[in-house]
Amino acid sequence: MAPKQTTETFSSINQWQRETFPLATLDGALRHIEEEWAEFQTAPSIQERVKEAVDLILTLSCYVDLATGRGTQGPIDAKMRICRGRQWNILPDGTGRHV
């Protein structure tokens, strides 16, 4: 029987990380982020870079969860309130920097 398909949330990801890696530390998570960043930078294709970007999101989520002890959603919501309240300069490449 195939595993049940689920839609992941930061809450379910953080719960899985806590259960799977109960001894994780901030320093360990930071080292893992650095490793994933190096893999992202050297990925040979867009498809591989996307996979590595997701690895970065997951390891960054673990770091935030460890640092706050409260999961990831609250800090994301707080930061997005700040971002939505800022004015943005849109650069020629389509990205932006806040004023």
Task: Kindly give the interhelix angle for 46-68 and 26-42, rounded to the nearest 10 degrees.
Answer: 170
The 10s digit of each residue's pLDDT in 6-26 is 899 999 999 999 999 999 999
The pLDDT-based confidence of 2 (bands split at 50, 70, 90) is low
Prediction pTM value? 0.86
CA nearest neighbour of 38 among 54, 52, 28: 52
Q: What is the C-alpha radius of gyration for the chain, rounded to an integer number of angstroms?
A: 16
Q: Percentage of the chain surpassing pLDDT 90?
A: 94
Q: State the Cα–Cα distance between residues 56 and 17, nearest whole angstrom.
A: 14
The 10s digit of each residue's pLDDT in 37-57 is 999 999 999 999 999 999 999
pLDDT number for residue 5: 67
Tokens of 18: 């806590």
